Amino acid sequence: MTIPNVTQFASKDPVMERFDLLTNELGAKIAKRIYNVAVLIEKSPLPKTTQDLVMLRASQINGCGFCVDYHTKDAAVAGESATRIHLVAAWRESTVFSEAERAALALAEEGTRLADGHHGVSDETWAEVRKHYDDDQTVALVSLVAMINANNRLNVIVRKPGGSYEPGMFAGMAN
């Protein structure tokens, strides 16, 4: 049996961004407001580790190369282990996540897969979230799932490719 060369299946053209939202005046204003919401969530009592895992998982599901790059690098800079970062995609079959993190990852998946014939977040997942997170943390978690999905959609639509993100590159965008 001959094993095919995987490069024959790859696109010959690099991913080309269709439109840079940040170079457009309206796009930059919208991005700034989205970023400010992200800053509020980041400063919430929801653990930063949980935030990173949730954003990475939603971005993986949505196929957002830029956001996977972004959240993988940010998690690593924040001290997340390579093992946990690599296992986010298979969290259900992994032993490295706490019960609280597993509840947050389940909420991220169910809240992200709304269009996949899913009927929203199950009562079981919601009960697990509420078991581990107080009201403010729950607000932050629900908002985080909504916001990362919005960011993923913006970047996927304009084909913003992964690979160029540098941790901290958007720090001056706040306010």
Q: How far apart are the first and last CA of the chain?
A: 59
H-only helix segments in the chain: 25-42, 48-62, 65-77, 82-87, 99-112, 123-132, 135-157
Boundaries of every domain in the chain: 20-160
* CATH architecture of the domain covering 20-160: Up-down Bundle (1.20)
CA distance 84 to 54: 12
Q: Return the pLDDT at 128.
A: 98
Q: Return the pLDDT at 118.
A: 67
Query: What average pLDDT values come out for the chain (175 residues) when binned by 10 residues?
Result: 44 76 93 94 97 98 96 96 98 98 98 84 96 98 98 95 89 72
